[in-house]
Amino acid sequence: AQTVTQSQPEMSVQEAETVTLSCTYDTSESDYYLFWYKQPPSRQMILVIRQEAYKQQNATENRFSVNFQKAAKSFSLKISDSQLGDAAMYFCAYRSPPYNNNDMRFGAGTRLTVKP
């Protein structure tokens, strides 16, 4: 099974600064999808950003962007102009293609603290 590794259990950033969360994954598949989900204290899982493996262009959603390195199997999340509301657990996730289970596996998470 595919594995997802988040090597930073905790990260801290000053408000208005930029922070990068790391994620690596292991797979033999060529088609797949990658995601970052945010889990605030409410525990709701909220989609932050998605990336299709066949797309070379890095995904961007407002202040959130990714650095997708397919050969290195790396998928980092950059949060620019950090806000207090960005404080949460962030989970990196890998989803297999529809022709192969199509299940989604998560990393262990990174807890982000935003300092005012």
* C-alpha span between 77 and 74 (Å, rounded): 10
Return the number of other C-beta atoms located less than 10 Å from residue 45's C-beta: 13
What is the contact mask toward another protein in residues 19 to 58, using x (rule: CB under 8 A)?
--------------x-x-x-----xxx-x--x-x------
Residue 102 φ/ψ region, left for φ over 0, alpha for ψ in the -120 to 50 degree band, beta for the rest: left
107 belongs to the binding site for another protein (CB under 8 A) = yes
12 belongs to the binding site for another protein (CB under 8 A) = no
Interacting residues toward another protein by CB under 8 A: 1, 33, 35, 37, 43-45, 47, 50, 52, 91, 95, 98, 101-109
